[in-house]
Amino acid sequence: MNPYALEISYDGGAFGGWQSQSDGRGVQDAMERALGALGERVRVCGAGRTDAGVHARAQVASLALEKKWEPRRLALALNAHLPAGVSVLRAAETTAAFHARRSAVCREYRYFIRNASACCPHIKPYVRLLPGKYDWSAAAEAAKALEGTHDFRAFCRKEDCPENTVRSVSRARLTRRGNLVVFRIEGNAFLTNMIRIAVGNLIEIAKGKRDAAWLTGLLSGELDRTASAGTTSPSGLFFWRVRYPFRLEWQP
């Protein structure tokens, strides 16, 4: 078998999430159908799951193929069989030891907010539109509390909450440039809906309805999902990139 890595970008609004779905609407399903058209019946493993409606700028997937492909030709061949809304940006030869999810050391997500009453229609599916006045400076200061190792029980969808809800966040920053607000978060792993709930909490702080002390209290692990704010829309969330302890030799 010949192992490869793929860097994949997709519009989450066109799919039911990364993971394979019973109705075949997962990005993973689309990738495996395209590989089937090339004569390869294999499973594709992604670096991280994304919910329905969540986008990916640079998802990474690993797979092993019977045929040996020149990476650039593999990417071109897959793109010829993929549906609109998903593209293979580049490919790389790897080793049998490489696993897109288990080999990863850090994943970065970004959430985009347009603080305005309207926006250009071609970007509307990729931002959370929020009209009105918000104190984004207060939210930015509060976001720093997410960094470090905490019990994120209050940041996980209740029905999918695992026994161990401790996660480590290496970076959490909220910035504003004009009407565009961007939340960046990096960590080794995330709980179901964790980032969208975190953004919902920061929006409550920006509204002045909650304060930084409340957010710090949620990180104690003593509170459950009912203590947090609502889960914000998936439209503004992107799986931005994944990092490995070695360099992948990508071929565009």
Which residues are designated catalytic? 51
Q: Percentage helix, strand, coil, to 5, in the chain?
A: 30, 30, 45
A 10 A CB-CB count for 131 gives 10
Residue with tokens 């909220």, as numbered in its chain: 174
Q: Cα–Cα distance between 142 and 174 in angstroms, integer?
A: 9
CA neighbours closer than 13 Å in the CB half-sphere of residue 162: 12
92: burial class by Cβ within 10 Å (0-12, 13-18, 19+)?
buried
Q: Cα–Cα distance between 148 and 184 in angstroms, integer?
A: 14
- How distant is the alpha carbon of residue 99 from its chain centre? 18
Cα separation of the two ends of the chain: 22
Contact 179, 114 (CB under 8 A): yes
